[in-house]
Structure 1
Amino acid sequence: MRTLGAILAGGRSRRFGSDKAVALLDGVALIGRVIAALGPQVDALVVCGRTIDGYDCVADRPGPDLGPLGGLSAALHYARANGFDRVVSAPCDAPFLPVDLVARLAEPPCYVAAMPVIGLWPSSLSETLDRHLATADDRSMRSWAVIAGVRSVDLGALDNVNTPADLDQLASAVRSASSI
């Protein structure tokens, strides 16, 4: 069973006000933290929706501005074309992914209840997602998961950076933890 890790990084960072993928948390870019956490758990990584030197990168599919589903669609198609059975997706702004995320998700298809952009998806869902993107008005990950019959997995709360205040709060927690 070959697993592709897909980092969804094509958003506009509207709430953050600047490119949050490269925002630093304790000296490390948020996307760098996701790469470090997800990389050891998968056979290969791909970055969706942006270019990062040193990594395979794919444009959101079928085009930009579709939210996380555009990145997931790109990853599913990349996976099918390159012999991967499944894709684990994660956003570029979730800096503390569990080091055993893939094992805890276990069998696809599933998504994390608290953060549906994190999920384990069979690559065979690529055409189903294409049809959904072509016809659906609701392009949320949760809506897609319901339509695709995907089960949710409770992993508790996971940190996610949407605003500068979120980043400041995490930075403060990191500083407090390192001073203990």
Structure 2
Amino acid sequence: MKVAGVILAGGQARRMGGGDKGLLDLGGVSLLARVTRRFAPQVEAMCLNANGDAARFDAFGLDVVADPVEGFAGPLAGVLAGMRWAEAQGADHVVSVAADTPFFPSDLVERLQTGAAGTSPVLAAVREAGRVRRQPTFGLWPVALADDLEAALGDGVRKVVQWTERHDGREVVFGSSDAFFNVNTPEDLARAELML
């Protein structure tokens, strides 16, 4: 399995007051720099899914791919952008991570691969209060499903789980929900500083 990576940073960061959450400082290092350092050893190549002027990310040395559908269609649009980019790199799968989640597991890709079967997408999940909670921005996506995902987005599908369940979506359960803690608000950023 040849796996490429896509860092999802295409949202509008409304709860943070707008802008690019990935460029926020966490302990003297941007969130995006922390994510790329953690992700790079796990994948063969990686790109950044972001909308708008790509030049603002020049310092990271990543290919920047915009959502292929208009109107901020959510993480599935970023996954599709990553799939198309990965396909051009000769990869058969792409793993997505969120740009505002600096503590995700250092064995994320390896563990997601253990859940792979055929052309089923695999989502990371955590067990909380006796139930499994999927992490929809963290997944292993077969590039072979790109056309299907593009059609689903064209039909208005926006919820990750709605689309993955159509394709026998699977989950790999990770131990701690803190690993997938994401920075959505100024209070979250303060909590992340403590978590460092």
What one-letter code is carried by the residue in structure 2 that aligns with 1:166?
Answer: D
Please list, as runs of the form range in 1=range in 2, the aligned pairs for 1:96-175 lying within 5 A after superposition: 96-106=103-113, 107-108=115-116, 109-113=121-125, 114-136=134-156, 138-156=157-175, 157=177, 158-174=180-196
Q: Distance in 1 between matches of 2:46 and 2:34?
A: 13
**Structure 2: runs of 5 or more not aligned:** 126-133
**Structure 1: runs of 5 or more not aligned:** 175-180
Please report the TM-score for the alignment, with normalisation by the length of structure 1: 0.90
How far is 1:28 from its partner?
1.1
Q: Partner residue of 1:177? A: none
Q: Distance in 2 between matches of 1:63 and 1:84?
A: 25
What one-letter code is carried by the residue in structure 2 that aligns with 1:44?
Answer: A
SS of 1:102's equivalent?
Answer: helix
Q: Deviations over 1:49-75 (max 9, x none)?
A: 243211111111133411111110111
* TM-aligned CA distance change 1:63 to 1:81, over 3 Å: farther
Misfit runs of 4+, over 6 Å:
none
Q: Distance in 2 between matches of 1:7 and 1:31?
A: 9
Q: Distance in 1 between matches of 2:81 and 2:112?
A: 21
Please report the TM-score for the alignment, with normalisation by the length of structure 2: 0.83
CA RMSD across the alignment: 1.4
**Conservation of the 8 A alpha-carbon contact between 2:5 and 2:86:** no
Q: How high is the sequence identity, in percent, across the aligned residues?
A: 41
Q: Distance in 2 between matches of 1:93 and 1:30?
A: 6
Provide the aligned length of Structure 1 versus Structure 2.
173
